[in-house]
Amino acid sequence: MTTRTRRRADAERSIARIVAAARELLGRDPAATIDEIAAAAGVGRMTLYGHFPNRAELVEAALADALADGERTLSAVDLTGDPGAALDRLLASSWSLVAESSSLLAAAQEVLPPGRVRQLHGAPAARLEELIRRGQDRDAFRTDLPIGWLVGAVHYLLKGAAEEQRAGRLDAAEVPRIVTASVRSLLTPPG
């Protein structure tokens, strides 16, 4: 947070606009160009390069920003009480986050060193994993499948729902119900 030489206010503003634009464009198209991002941010390309030395650092900054936002939202979710209900609340908050930055993740995967994305993405995954564990302890969630897979599967379903919605095959209004119902089935003990 504290840099050696202090940064001017207009620079902060530019950086914020660039990161916001990057999140928006990369969230839709993982192949979005630096040119396009700069244009969408309303700054010249050179200004962008003044703050981010290359594409990778820009993508990482955008991802980190999106994840920080997510953390802020998700940490406010009440995960106590009945695990099923807690799961519903978590999904209700997670859904739009995933929808907005699913392809941002893909962009990061291409540009960042292997494992880096997973590392940055650790917090939300850990939150879900812990909730699942707690549900398992209370026999509310299944235990016959690896927990890593369960966490991953939830993510794949969320990403899939985002894709379906973007393609117009799913109405945004019904997505939350569909997602929660699907995930609950996935986590419920069989039989």
Question: What residues from 21 to 60 belong to the interface with DNA (CB under 7 A)?
Answer: 33-35, 43-47, 49-51, 53-56
Query: What residues line the site for a copy of itself (CB under 8 A)?
Result: 142, 144-146, 148-149, 152-153, 155-157, 159-161, 163-164, 169-170, 178, 181-182, 184-186, 188, 190
Question: Which residues touch 191 (CB under 8 Å, ≥6 apart)?
Answer: none
If we measure between CA atoms, which residue out of 118, 111, 4 comes closest to residue 53? 111
| Minimum distance, C-beta of residue 27 to DNA, in the bound complex (Å) | 16
| Nearer to a copy of itself (CB atom), residue 72 or residue 169 | 169
Determine phi and psi for 107, rounding to 5 degrees: -60, -40
Which of 1, 2, 5, 191 forms a contact with DNA (CB under 7 A)? Answer: 5
Which of 186, 176, 150 is CA-nearest to residue 91? Answer: 176
Cα gap 2→110, rounded to integer Å: 30
Q: Of these partners, a copy of itself, DNA, none, which one is at the site of residue 182 (CB under 5 to 8 Å by kind)?
A: a copy of itself
**Nearer Cβ to a copy of itself, position 130 or 171?**
171
Q: Out of DNA, a copy of itself, none, which partner does residue 75 contact, by CB within 5 to 8 A per kind?
A: none
Assess contact for 48 and 19: CB atoms under 8 A.
no
* Cα 145 to Cα 151: distance, rounded to the nearest angstrom: 10
Which residues of this chain interact with DNA, rule CB under 7 A? 5-11, 13-14, 33-35, 43-47, 49-51, 53-56
